[in-house]
Amino acid sequence: MRILLVGAGGVGAAFTAIAARRDFFETIVIADYDEAKAQRTAATDGRYVAARIDASDAASVTALCREHRITHVMNAVDPVFDMPVFEGAFEAGADYLDMAMSLSKPHPEAPYEQCGVKLGDEQFAVADTWERAGRLALVGIGVEPGLSDVFARYAADHLFSEIDELGTRDGANLVVTDDDGHEVFAPSFSMWTTIEECLNPPVIWAGDGKGGGDWHTTAPFSEPEVFDFPEGIGPVECVNVEHEEVLLMPRWVDCKRATFKYGLGDEFINILKVLHTLGLDSTEKIRVKGVEVSPRDVVAAVLPDPATVGPRMKGKTCAGLWVTGKGKDGQPRSTYLYHVVDNEETMRDYGHQCVVWQTAINPVVALELLARGTWSGAGVLGPEAFDAVPFLDLLTEYGSPWGIQEM
């Protein structure tokens, strides 16, 4: 297996740190627009090679794939670049993995009621083309989406006979402090992506539990609920956020409802609302003193790089799926399947903060399963299309076990 890793940011660097301990691949070409960043990451392992890439240009992706005889393209850049990287991989004859999906566009007339272009629509529109070519595009294989979707497959196969709701719930008790020990605002993940998913209309699946149903939207930050997260994190208020799981899970797992709720906190929600009010969430370029710049890119640039906040961060992050319905015995069941990561541990063992590390470990596991032939397929597929047990077993083998809690 010869992997092209597009993006040497926080998640990309954590990906390489995890992969360095495994032997399922021949080489990883680490490519970034900032070649110096790629070179620093590549210097950590003799199997790594650095390169420069323009992720907005499919031809650049294709050329690099051909130059290095790439078999699998791993997309670790912001989802605004998903389609060029996706298309470039296909043109090169490589399989493709990403941790998100192609971007959505709100409905022009009823954004908080009806879906416009949904997450992943552009990719699923060409699923037949990928399948006919015998190529695999495994989308949404981070932690959320990704591990949460693996949990959905596991719950359907092994825990439930009927599923009422697949509810992804994400929460943490992470705190970032400055040099004087004062808590500061420093997002632990890409601010560009966070703005995108938090300010777009959240999507909810409403189905009959037998494959029928459809998606609709609601207002950002709607339906607040307090969810009690395990392993000492405790109660966190969670709200509806647009996320890929809701668009993925119902395609392969029968359920009556699918939701995603994120524990953002009042401060973060207020900041996002202010950014939106001021137009600073916009991706459209404006001219400022003779320079064209995207307001959202400016916001992301002035905040600390998520890859650098690890030494000043404490706490744990939890990704999980709350499943309700009937168990295999026909009785009511409510179960939370989860994965908790402690920042102190990932910093000590890998040198990467817990949020990017938790995201990065899942595509490494998936690539190893593909290399072994344990997972295989063609077309545009989500993690739900594969057997969950080998994934969860290998995740545990990596030293990062998952948990299950009856609610």
CATH code (residue 292): 3.30.360.10
Whole-number pLDDT of residue 304: 73
265 and 167: one domain? yes
Residue 182 has pLDDT above 70, yes or no: yes
The residue from 63, 98, 133 where one domain ends is 98
Cβ atoms 402, 392 nearer than 8 A: yes
Of 70-74, 196-200, 264-268, 342-346, the poorest mean pLDDT is in: 264-268
179 and 317 housed in the same domain:
yes
Indicate whether 375 belongs to any domain. Answer: no
Query: Domain check: are 45 and 178 in the same one?
Result: no
Choose one of 40, 70, 98: the last residue of a domain: 98
- Overall average pLDDT of the 129-152 stretch: 98
- Rg value, the chain, Cα: 20
The mean pLDDT value for 316-345 works out to 97
pLDDT at 269: 79
Given 98, 115, 133, the domain boundary residue is 98
Rounded Cα distance, 172 and 25, in Å: 33
- Pair (326, 177) in one structural domain: yes
pLDDT for the residue numbered 188: 65
Task: Please check whether residues 47 and 169 belong to one and the same domain.
Answer: no
Would you state the pLDDT for residue 186? 64
Is 9 within the bounds of a domain?
yes
Is the confidence at residue 130, as pLDDT, over 70? yes
Residue 330 or residue 195, greater confidence: 330
CATH label of the domain that carries residue 35: 3.40.50.720
pLDDT for residue 311: 80
Rounded mean pLDDT of 246-261?
98
Q: Which tokens hold the place of 380?
A: 């545009």
- Domain membership of residue 136 (yes or no) is no
Residue at 400: amino acid letter: S
Residue 16: what pLDDT?
Answer: 98
The answer on 176 and 32 residing in a single domain is no
pLDDT-wise least confident of 5-14, 92-101, 185-194, 300-309: 185-194
**Same domain, yes or no: 73 and 155:** no
Residue 227 in any domain: the answer is: yes
| Residue 177: per-residue pLDDT | 81
Among 55, 65, 5, CA closest to 29:
5
Q: Give the Cα separation of 98 and 5 in Å (integer).
A: 10
- Please calculate the CA angle 247-91-294 and round it to the nearest 5 degrees: 60
What is the residue type of 403?
G
Phi, psi at 343, each rounded to 5°: -60, -40
Find all residues with CB under 8 Å of 91, minimum gap 6, and list them.
58, 59, 61, 62
The pLDDT, as a whole number, for residue 278 is 86
Same-domain check for residues 256 and 193: yes
* The pLDDT of residue 339: 98
Query: What confidence tier does 76 reach under pLDDT thresholds 50, 70, 90?
Result: very high
Regarding whether 175 and 29 lie in a shared domain, the answer is: no
Average pLDDT over residues 321-329: 98
pLDDT tens by residue, 205-232: 999 999 999 999 999 889 999 999 999 9
Whether residues 79 and 227 fall in one domain: no
Helices (H), 74-181: 82-91, 121-124, 127-132, 147-154
Residue 129: inside a domain, yes or no?
no
State the total domains in the chain: 2
| pLDDT higher than threshold 80 for residue 265 | no
**Residue 217: inside a domain:** yes
pLDDT band at 189 (very low <50, low <70, confident <90, very high): low
Mean pLDDT of the chain: 93
User: Domain check: are 56 and 189 in the same one?
Assistant: no
Phi, psi of 212 (to 5 degrees): -90, 155
Q: Does residue 388 lie within any of the structural domains?
A: no
Question: For residues 108 and 351, what is the distance between their CA atoms, to the nearest angstrom?
Answer: 44
pLDDT value of residue 355: 93
Q: Is residue 135 part of a domain?
A: no
Q: Are residues 156 and 64 in the same domain?
A: no
Q: What is the pLDDT of residue 196?
A: 78
Over the stretch 267-282, which tens digit does the pLDDT of each residue have?
Answer: 777 888 888 888 888 8
Its domain, for residue 8, covers: 2-98
The secondary structure of 162-174 as a DSSP string is EEEEEEEEEEE--
Q: Taking residues 151-158, what's their average pLDDT?
A: 98
Find residue 226's DSSP bridge partners.
Answer: 237
